Amino acid sequence: MTTIMVADRLTKWYGKRLAVNDVSFEVRQGEVMGLLGPNGSGKSTILRVLTGYLRPTSGTASIGGFDVVSHGLEARQQVGYVPEDVPLYTHMRVAEFLAFMARLRGLDESSLPAAVDRVCDRLSLQREREVLIGKLSRGYRQRVAIAQALVGSPKLLILDEPTNGLDPRQIIELRELIRSLATTCSIIVTSHVLAEIERVAHRAAILLEGRLLKVHELAAGVDVRRLRVQVHANDPDAVRTCLGHVDGVRDATLEGEAGDIGTWRLTTASADVAERVTATLSQAGFGVREITTAASDLETMFLRLTTQGTQQ
């Protein structure tokens, strides 16, 4: 698989403060890579190095084969960037702003209409083309921000905390948009919400105090839920068979037993599976003592790594 971005032993000092410490990872073609970490973990510094706002103290980074320092202009031409606080020109109309950004990216005048049409179609902005950006909702402003990042057909799209300030419906729409955009470009996305990263990313790089703790494989952006169920039963195999017949249960793992009570961890497709699990087990004669939402694999991994990291 083609590699779009490579960071090799990336290090950045701010005076006497070490912000990024010997970080190496890569982003593959068509992949969504999540960057996770608490405030001060180095996420924003890494993004600023990749986008050419900062020079690394040592180490290298390349995008599309171009080094971000020695071939900075060529590297930046491969990137579309949506910062956390998007600097939109609210006095401009949507199509006007997108054409302006396309000119800044070096597109010639003859190709501007097609480029603006393409990103408006992709971001569902055709009806808003002539609307002043200042009159758009927060969700549509975010779409305009992503559209300007895509107007130059970048190989790598960088989204810094893209769900900040969005309502639940807008977050769901943005999640679907990120998944669809990954069919034509690679994406790096940061978020404080682990569940959002788990639902859109193929892998997650976990950072703490400037160090890369682990790159964790995810379920390719599959929307999953996890439940923990305590069941009264003396036959674990029968319980496993029963759970396997519940529509929406993808995996059932016996975590432990205490007497005749077994604790099961379920990977499910949606939240309403809990009702079907309870009903199916009860109809089979098994007593359900408790059913609760379980932490995701990513949450468990993140808490374990960051807790260990602060103790080192």
The pLDDT value given to residue 39: 83
| Structure confidence at residue 299 (pLDDT) | 65
Three-state DSSP class for residue 55: coil
Do the beta carbons of residue 10 and residue 39 sit within 8 Å? no
Say what the pLDDT of residue 297 is. 62
Range list for CATH 3.40.50.300 in the chain: 3-217
Which is it for the CA torsion 47, 52, 56, 59, positive or negative? positive
How many Å apart are CA 239 and CA 216, to the nearest integer?
31
Fold of 3-217: Rossmann fold (3.40.50)
Closest among 147, 144, 162, 142 to 47, alpha carbons compared: 162
- Answer for the pair 175, 200: CB distance below 8 angstroms, yes or no: yes
Q: What is the pLDDT of residues 189-245, one digit of tens each?
A: 998 778 788 888 999 999 999 999 989 887 655 555 678 899 988 889 999 999 988
User: What superfamily in CATH does domain 225-295 come from?
Assistant: MTH889-like domain (3.30.70.1340)
Q: For 44-86, what is each residue's pLDDT tens digit?
A: 999 999 999 999 999 999 999 999 999 999 999 999 999 988 8
What's the pTM?
0.76
Three-class DSSP category at 33: strand
pLDDT for the residue numbered 220: 54
Q: How do residues 112-145 score in pLDDT, each as one tens digit?
A: 999 999 999 999 999 999 999 999 998 899 999 9
- With contact defined as beta carbons under 8 Å apart, do 145 and 169 qualify? no
Q: Which residues of 280-289 are buried (b: 16+ CB within 10 A; e: fewer)?
A: bbeeeebebe
Tens of pLDDT, residues 263-310: 988 878 665 788 888 889 999 999 898 888 765 566 666 777 777 655
Start and end residues for every CATH 3.30.70.1340 domain found in the chain: 225-295
